[in-house]
Amino acid sequence: MKMLILTSSGSFITANNVDDFLPKKITDCKIAYIITASRKVDDTSYIDRHRQKMNELNFSYTEIDIAGKNEDALKKALDGHDIVMVEGGNTFYLLKAVRESGFENVIKDLIEKDIVYIGSSAGSYIACPSIIMATWSNQGFDRCGITDYTAMNLVPFLIKAHYTPDMKAILDEKVKDLHYPMRVLNDNQAILVRDGEVQLLGGSDEIII
């Protein structure tokens, strides 16, 4: 079963019971926690909070940085894990590391072998056909030389994470130029993609732009 859970915030995974969607309880899973995107942000307190919460919940995880690795090294590092959880941060740096390491080839092979992919913010963006959404932010991230925004295309739509109502006007304009459908998530929502079927997770209604 091919499964992805794409979130706006990693806190969705630790604040909600995702066992109903996973092949086995998340506390019984071995998680490869990809923290690469956090290497190029100024404030990494979100990583500390997420790590603390995972420890409280007795998650079994190994932190992995894909930057500087090649496909063989990634295959070894990710071997034996049930979940690959890709954390947020600098989407441009993450995409650069994905391309240079061969992560895309490795993760596509693992998903075919029923490894669950969980993305958070930047980790969700790189699962889309493009990371164009990351250019809409005013956070001032270093774009690391990235001018081609083509991403891994694990899902056939784009995601806009961290939605708040004040973003609606600009998103109304941005979607006019998109070549893909866009799904919008606030930090309490996620999208489950299971064998091609798409389901919104979280208590609130889908945000339509």
108-132 pLDDT, tens per residue?
Answer: 999 999 999 999 999 999 999 999 9
Residues 6+ away with beta carbon under 8 Å from 98: 66, 104, 126, 151, 152
**What domains sit in the chain, N to C, each tagged with a CATH number?**
3-201 (3.40.50.880)
3-state secondary structure of 88: coil
Report yes or no: 178 and 159 within 8 Å, Cβ to Cβ: no
pTM: 0.96
Average pLDDT score over the chain: 95
Q: What is the mean pLDDT of residues 90-113?
A: 98
**pLDDT tens profile 131-166:** 999 999 777 789 999 999 999 999 999 999 999 999
